[in-house]
Amino acid sequence: MKAAVSSEWLKLRSVASTYHTLGTAALTVLLGVGWTLYVSALADERGSLRAAAPEQGFLPLVQISLAVLGVLAVTSEYATGTIRPSLAAVPRRGTLLLAKAGIVGLTTFTAATTILLLTYSVSRLLASGHNLGFNTTPLADDLPSLLASSLSATALALVGLGLGTAIRSTAGGIVSVVALLFVLPGIANYLPSPWNTRVATLLLPNIVPQIVGARLSSRLGDGFLPPWAALAVLCAYPVIALAVGYVLLKRRDA
């Protein structure tokens, strides 16, 4: 297992796509700076302004970027044919997938936490002296939300890894995670009541606020999950995706 983890870490840090996806996620910091400067100028004109916190407003960019990293961690091997020597070196396919999941999970959680904390800190520093609404609470109060956001990005990256393993296609894996993050929430709004509420509470974009006990938009009704249940639902996404990926990886030839 140790050799498999070392091998997966070497592969992840030796490909350019890893740095491209991490760099795209890191754009959140620059976008957060631009957003904070913009709304600060508006707040000076109007006296006060309720603006979205940049680490939350640009969270989807972090999530989708790291999800693509998860997809590419396995589909790039299928595309280049290097999955065969990987399986030859680690014949137990469950061990191989578990090693990939561990490296992808640790990398994406570290990256997401660093990016979101940096965005948070820089935006609060720039917003100092301006009445923007999002710069009135201390870090200790916002930390649970930041960690929940990091966990959601990590979960989506592992979902991407699982779906990429199952589909064996970079395009298919990316389309799948995009559908989970952006398409399904839109479809849920058009379901008849109360199913729109029940489905919406289980979808990835709505889980983070529920983990920290916040209420969703009132248009979704009153069907909210308690924090422990929301966290369990978040963990279920990567577990199910990786389980499907493992079953198909075990049954199929490389």
Higher pLDDT, 190 or 224: 190
Q: Choose among 84, 70, 78, 88: nearest CA to 3.
A: 88
Mean pLDDT of 217-224: 53
| pLDDT above 50 (res 133) | yes
Distances from the Cα of 113 to the Cαs of 18, 117, 162, 245, in angstroms? 17, 6, 22, 26
Mean pLDDT of 104-127: 94
CB atoms within 10 A of CB 183: 12
| pLDDT above 80 (res 218) | no
Q: For 206-210, which contacts have Cβ atoms below 8 Å and span 24 or more sequence positions?
A: 207/152, 207/233, 207/234, 208/59, 208/145, 208/148, 208/149, 208/152, 209/145
* % pLDDT > 90, the chain: 49
Structural domain for 138, as ranges: 2-251
Amino acid 128: pLDDT: 81
Could you tell me if 66 and 153 are in contact, meaning their C-beta atoms sit under 8 angstroms apart?
Answer: yes
| pLDDT above 70 (res 182) | yes
For all residues of the chain together, what is the average pLDDT? Answer: 87
Amino acid 219: pLDDT: 46
pTM, entire model: 0.91
Task: Retrieve residue 238's tokens.
Answer: 């990567």
> How many domains would you assign to the chain?
1
Please tell me the least confidently modeled range out of 75-79, 89-93, 171-175, 178-182. Answer: 89-93
Could you tell me if 84 and 126 are in contact, meaning their C-beta atoms sit under 8 angstroms apart?
Answer: no
